[in-house]
Amino acid sequence: MDLKRIEKSFFEILNAMGEDVKREGLLDTPKRVARMYEELFWGLNVDPKSVLSAIFNENHDEIVIVKDIPLYSMCEHHFLPFHGAAHIAYIPKNGRITGISKLARVVDVLSHRPQLQERLTSQTADTIFEVLDPMGVIVIIEAEHMCMTMRGINKPGSITVTSAIRGIFEEDAPARAEVLNLLRR
C-alpha cells in the first residue's frame, strides 16, 4: 500500500473541502488516515484460502456452527463502516475439519477490504466450500451500515441480513432448517 500517496490525496480532500489544513488538529490527519487505511484494509494482501490451511481429520460428520463472529468492514460504495456479526455452519466431509478460529479468520481477511455485505457473505462461503470441501456450508451475516444510518435514508438500527448457502444445504431443506433453528437460539 502506497501510504505517501494516500497521505497526499487525503491532504487534497481536506483542501478541497475548504478546511484549514494548517490548523493543529488536522496537521497530522493525512498521515493518520494513511496508516489507518493500512490497518483497515490489510486483507487486500492476504489470500483467505491460506488461513484455512490447517485441516484436521476428526471423526465428526455432524454440523459445526460458529455464531456471533464480530465483524467490522468498510462499504466500498461510500467508504463508511458497516459492522455486525457473521454466523458460519458447515457439515464436514470425511472428517475434514478446521480450527474454529480459522473460520473467524476467513471473515477477518475478507472484511478488511473495501466490501459489500453480499460479496463478503458469498466469498466467505466460497472460500470454506473450496478449501475444506465440506458437505455443505451456510454463512449468514447481519450488519448495520453507517451509510444508511448517518446519511442517505437515515435509518439507524436497520439491520441487513445476507446469506450464502452451498452444497447439501441447497437441496436439503430439513438440514437447512436445523441450522437456521440453531442459529436463532
One of 32, 60, 77, 155 touching Zn ion (CB under 5 A)? 77
Q: How far apart (Å, rounded) are the C-alpha atoms in residues 52 and 57?
A: 14
Of the listed 75, 87, 115, 123, which one is catalytic? 75
- Told to check if 78 binds Zn ion by CB under 5 A, we report yes
CA 177 – CA 165 distance, rounded (Å): 12
Task: Look up cell 448457502; give the residue.
Answer: 165
Please identify, using beta-carbon distances, which residue of 30 and 84 lies nearer to Zn ion. Answer: 84
Secondary structure class of 91 (helix, strand, coil): strand
Contact pick of 26, 64, 116, 147 for Zn ion (by CB under 5 A):
147
Residue 35 binds to Zn ion (criterion: CB under 5 A): no
Q: Rounded to the nearest whole angstrom, what is the least distance from the CB of residue 97 to Zn ion in the complex? A: 35
68, 85 contact by CB (below 8 A):
yes
CA distance 97 to 75: 31
| Closest CB 157 distance from Zn ion, rounded Å | 16
Q: Which residue is nearest to Zn ion (CB)?
A: 147
Window of 67-75, 104-112, 117-125, 136-144 that interacts with Zn ion by CB under 5 A = 67-75
User: Known catalytic residue: 39?
Assistant: no
**Cβ density class 35-44: b for 16+ within 10 Å, e for less:** eebeebbebe
The least distance separating Zn ion from the CB of residue 31, rounded to whole angstroms, comes to 26
The alpha carbon dihedral of 159, 104, 180, 168 has a sign of positive
Beta carbon of residue 109, minimum distance to Zn ion (angstroms, whole number)? 21
Residues with catalytic roles: 75-78, 117, 145, 147
**Where along the sequence are the contacts to Zn ion (CB under 5 A)?**
75, 77-78, 147
